[in-house]
Amino acid sequence: MVMDINEIREYLPHRYPFLLVDRVTQLTTGESIVAYKNVSINEPFFNGHFPHHPIMPGVLVLEALAQVCGILGFKTVNKLPADGYVYYLVGSDNVRFKRPVMPGDKLTLEANVIKGKRGIWKFACRATVDGELACEAEIICAERKVA
């Protein structure tokens, strides 16, 4: 284990029900991150998506990937939300969903830095369940100072 939920909460400003990363298992500063989210039937979005066939909304899979990108960005530049910084999801390209994510799945989240320049980062991302591709995307995040 590289980061437990307590340390993750230091690097992400998100809180329940929008914190979508449970544990970071690998992290190479400036290069890559591997983390996971345990998907539970208790997630609030399953009440409406869909009651008789629950699947995790694709936009939340993409958000989970963006959150691991934020962790990697913060770790790389050695900053924290407590210092007045935030990482915004500012773009996504080549997004493809390959399989549904359902209650009981362990969603593995991977991001690799493609490039970073002046607070703008581009990542190659993959979300998998048991080694099977669920989503892939290129995600762009921007570091910003907030008041």
Q: Which residues are tagged catalytic?
A: 49
Phi-psi region of 104 (alpha: psi -120 to 50; beta: other; left: phi over 0): left
Tell me how crowded residue 52 is: count the other CB atoms within 10 A of its CB.
4
What angle is formed at CA 69 by the lines to CA 50 and CA 34, rounded to 5 degrees? 85
- Phi and psi, residue 59, nearest 5°: -65, -30
Q: Which residues partner with 141 through β-bridges?
A: 89, 121
